[in-house]
Amino acid sequence: PRPEELATNLDVSTLVDSDGGLIDRSIYTDEGLYKQEMRRIFARSWLFLAHTSQFKKPGDFFTTFMGEDPIIVTMDKKKSIRAYLNSCRHRGVRVCRADAGATKMFTCTYHGWSFDLEGALQSVPNEQAYPEDFDKKDWGLIEVPNVAIYKGLIFANWDPKAEPLEDALGDMRYYMDAMLDRDPEGTEVIGGVMKWVLEGNWKLAAEQFATDWYHVNMSHASALMVLSPTGKGPKADIAATPGRQFVSPKGHGAGFPTHPKSRFDAKAVHEHYDYAALRERLGDAAVEGPMTTGHATVFPSFSYLPVNGSIRVWHPKGPDKMEVWAWILVDKSMPDEVKDAQRLYNLRTFGPSGIFEADDGENWSEVQAISHGFVTNNVPLNFQMGIGSEREDGTYPGQTSELYSDAAGRGFYRHWATLMNEPAWHENKNK
Ligand code: FES
Ligand code: FE
């Protein structure tokens, strides 16, 4: 076993009681658990990389991360999307330092090794000085073995035996379709990628987007007043709000209020849609629920908000820090002025300084900031809302609970704990 395996083979079953709804907050702060997450969560889950609309011709590339591993996503000469570890095989420098662009070759800036779009090492300066058995074929970029696309979203997985992306998503696809499949032409991303840093563990954000409608009335009260046409704050009687929360056995989650008259908040977007056609296409239940206002996380770290087309990744940067990368998703066939209305609404609400986004980031940093105390760390957190209420409701696929519930949070941590306690594909090599 490698050194990090010996050091981080921690049993998390005493830290996560997902049936009882108790979570030990050391899972947000412990350095060893964080390293174990890199090995057992991020090195074997399907992770979101980019949107297909970011790649139009061979050589278009985008750089991102899988866990803390730097990744180049590019379109090869045959127009397939491929993903490589962004690290030179010679002495390890990133072979691509730009955020995005177009190229014929990735040339390392340290000593000049060059790799083509297929990851092959094409040229080595002063190659004649290497031993005779040095073969460029052995030193190509490390490729991520699985790249798969679900309705425009590109995901990748390091596990050579990973289950297919569609199976890993399971019933979550129905909830995603309510955003990804409103338009026969599909979706695209517009503008750049917004990136900002938050002082907080990545799970605080991922779990909140999976399960937490509960915070909306309190945390976002002032934002709701600004948006409300009457200037009134949220209703006091929240438990009566009709809605459902989806709980996946794979750790995904989604929550949404249900309204017989669904509508988008941005006026131009609302007026753009033909709601009868959407009902025909997606079904009444999808239009009245997950299509507009709601929240969702695809385990582990990809989240989205259908109402404003925000899709985002919570990149882990150590136990105490995350980097948020957010794209604006629109329907391809929307007229430009509707796309722009969606973009402005997105920035106003969930852009880096949006009136909702700022509230959420503040909460996560607050939780993280005090979580290193010894006694603090020994007091569990409560995830008991709606315990035992998950069921098949006959309308929405999979198990769902009431809207105000921690069911998807318990599901998120249940799956997290299962993966954390199970050796991953790369650990079996030695056995
Ligand atoms: Fe890339 Fe030396 S580190 S060429
Ligand atoms: Fe929020």
**Residues ≥6 apart with Cβ < 8 Å to 121:** 89, 113, 114, 115, 136, 137, 139, 140, 141
Residue 295 alpha carbon to ligand 2 centre in Å = 9
Q: Which amino acid is at 169?
A: L
Provide the mean pLDDT of the chain: 95
Do domains 47-148 and 171-421 share one topology? The answer is: no
User: Residues with Cβ < 8 Å from 230, sequence gap 6 or more?
Assistant: none
- Measured from the CB, is residue 91 less than 6 Å from ligand 1? yes
Tens digit of pLDDT for each residue in 172-193? Answer: 999 999 999 999 999 999 999 9
With a CB cutoff of 8 Å and minimum separation 6, the contacts of 344 are 266
111 within ligand 1 shell (Cβ under 6 A): yes
How many CB atoms are located within 10 Å of the residue 164 CB? 11
Active site residues: 111, 212, 215, 220, 360
What atom of ligand 1 comes closest to residue 89's alpha carbon?
1
141 lines ligand 1 (CB under 6 A): no
Q: Which ligand is nearest to the CA of 94?
A: 1
Cα-based distances in Å from 134 to 126, 127, 142, 143: 12, 9, 17, 20
- Cα 267 to averaged position of ligand 2 atoms, centre (Å): 22
How far, in Å, from the CA of 63 to the mean position of ligand 1?
18
Residue 93 CB less than 6 A away from ligand 1: yes
Who contacts 98 (Cβ-Cβ below 8 Å, separation ≥6)?
61, 63
pLDDT at 294 over 80: yes
Residue 8 has a pLDDT of: 79
Going by DSSP bridges, is the β-strand pair 381-382/22-23 parallel, antiparallel, or unpaired? antiparallel
Cα of 429 vs centre of ligand 2, distance in Å, is: 42
- pLDDT at site 236: 66
What is the C-alpha to C-alpha distance for residues 318 and 65, in angstroms, rounded to an integer?
Answer: 13
Contacts 24+ apart (CB under 8 A), 308-313: 308/265, 308/266, 308/342, 308/345, 308/346, 308/349, 308/350, 309/179, 309/342, 309/346, 310/346, 310/350, 311/48, 311/51, 311/153, 311/189, 313/47, 313/48, 313/64
Residue 88, ligand 1, Cβ within 6 A = yes
Ligand 1 pocket residue status of 184, Cβ below 6 Å: no
Kindly report, residue by residue over 209-252, the tens digit of the pLDDT.
999 999 998 999 888 888 777 777 777 677 678 999 999 999 99
**Which atom, in ligand 1's list, is nearest to the CA of 108?**
1
CA distance 348 to 48: 25
Distance 60 CA to ligand 1 centre (A): 22
Ligand 1 pocket check for 89: Cβ under 6 Å: no
Nearest-10 Cα torsion for 406, 410, 412, 418:
180
The residue whose CB lies within 8 Å of the most ligand 1 atoms, and thus the one to mutate among 89, 91, 106, 107, is: 91
The CA R_g of the chain, rounded to the nearest whole Å, is: 22
Residue 68's pLDDT is 98
Residue 426 Cβ contacting ligand 1 at under 6 Å: no
Given a cut of 50, is residue 431 above it in pLDDT? Answer: no
**Residue 141 — pLDDT band, cuts 50, 70, 90?**
very high
Atom of ligand 1 nearest to the CA of 124: 4
Cα torsion angle, 381, 383, 384, 387, sign? negative
pLDDT in tens, 60-111: 999 999 999 999 999 999 999 999 999 999 999 999 999 999 999 999 999 9
- The 10s digit of each residue's pLDDT in 304-338 is 999 999 999 999 999 999 999 999 999 999 999 99
CA distance linking residue 94 with residue 110, whole number of Å: 9
Instruction: Tell me if 90 CB under 6 Å of ligand 1.
Output: yes
pTM, 2 dp: 0.96
Q: What secondary structure does DSSP assign to 7-66, as a single string?
A: H-----TTTEETTTTEE-GGGGT-HHHHHHHIIIIITTS-EEEEEGGG--STTEEEEEEE
* Beta bridge mates, 330: 188
Nearest atom (ligand 1) to Cα of 91? 3
In ligand 1, the atom with minimum distance to the C-alpha of 92 is: 3
Ligand number nearest to the C-alpha of 219: 2
Cα(155)–Cα(162) distance, rounded to whole angstroms? 12
Average pLDDT over residues 393-421: 97
User: How far is the C-alpha of 68 from the C-alpha of 82, rounded, in Å?
Assistant: 18
Contact 74, 60 (CB under 8 A): yes
Cα(116) to centroid of ligand 1, in Å?
15
Q: Is the pLDDT of residue 4 over 80?
A: no
Is 370:376 a contact under the CB 8 Å cutoff?
yes
Q: How far does residue 235's CA lie from ligand 2's centre (Å)? A: 16
Query: Distance between CA atoms of 344 and 342, rounded to whole angstroms?
Result: 6
Count Cβ atoms below 10 Å from residue 326 Cβ, excluding itself: 23
The answer to whether 93 and 106 have CB atoms below 8 angstroms apart is no
Q: Structural domain boundaries of the chain?
A: 47-148, 171-421
* Residue 304 Cβ < 6 Å to ligand 1: no
Q: How many CB atoms lie within 10 A of CB 96?
A: 25
Q: What is the pLDDT of residue 367?
A: 94
Ligand 1 atom showing the smallest separation from residue 93 Cα: 3
Q: Residue 279 above 90 pLDDT?
A: yes
pLDDT above 90 coverage of the chain, percent: 88
Question: Across residues 3-7, what is the average pLDDT?
Answer: 76
Look at ligand 1, atom 3, and give the residue with the nearest C-alpha: 91
Q: How far apart are CA 336 and CA 361, in angstroms?
A: 31
Among all ligands shown, which has an atom nearest to the Cα of 359? 2
CA angle 185, 250, 284 (to 5 degrees): 45
Q: Report the CATH number of the 171-421 domain.
A: 3.90.380.10
Check pLDDT > 70 for residue 370. Answer: yes
Ligand of minimum distance to the alpha carbon of 356: 2
Which of the listed CATH numbers 2.102.10.10, 2.40.50.100, 3.40.50.10490, 2.40.30.10 matches domain 47-148?
2.102.10.10
Cα separation, 428 vs 209, in Å, equals 33
Q: Is the CB of 112 under 6 A from ligand 1?
A: yes
**Residue 429: pLDDT above 70?**
no
Q: What is the mean pLDDT of residues 344-363?
A: 94
Q: Ligand 1: distance of its center to the CA of 119 in Å?
A: 15
Task: List the one residue out of 96, 89, 48 whose CA is nearest residue 74.
Answer: 96
Region at 224 (left for phi over 0; alpha for psi -120 to 50; beta for the rest): alpha
